Structure 1
């Protein structure tokens, strides 16, 4: 079973997860304006990603630039990985390729 095969309900029951459906969960977080570079990149990339129309195009052209910007805003205190195999426990279905993994670690060479 791959990560994408789980439904939310299955993940809840399999891993004893609790959903927090708090409204305005990030109400106390101040908004951050995107940099001019990110605005320019997205202005160019969003129409292309929309035209190509695949999840991969959206991922590469829209999400990755935002994550790079986030990493810069956090002074590279996080790392992110794209398209990596992340096999934890095949017996529990925790295996497969992840679109993105964000980590609270600066370590960028290894997950």
Structure 2
């Protein structure tokens, strides 16, 4: 696919694009990573947290995603970090 603009160079939306110059390549990036079992603590936390309302993205992040990330982090200290609630605005740089 190629991205081409109409000759007037005024792009107002997706319909103004003729083609997308993107080569989509499907790769299996994590085939070498073996599955692991969640810790007993993670199982307990997720079981408890699933009983709470999970209607917002913030609730899902705090009650489901963060405990999973914490479990992985404890197994791999100093291998990675994550930022919660930070807005990375590259336009201000």
| TM-score when normalising by structure 2 | 0.65
Structure 1 stretches lacking a partner, 5+ long: 1-12, 92-111
| TM-score when normalising by structure 1 | 0.55
Total equivalences in the alignment: 74
Q: Tell me which of 57, 72, 80 is aligned to 1:70.
A: 72
Question: Where does structure 1 differ by over 6 angstroms across 4 or more consecutive aligned residues?
Answer: none
Structure 2 stretches lacking a partner, 5+ long: 1-19
**Superimposed CA distance per residue, residues 20-72 of structure 1 (whole angstroms, 9 cap, x where no aligned partner):** 422x4322211111100000000000221xx3411111111000111111111
Change (3 A) 1:77 1:89: same
Structure with greater contact order relative to length (CA < 8 Å, sep ≥ 6): 1
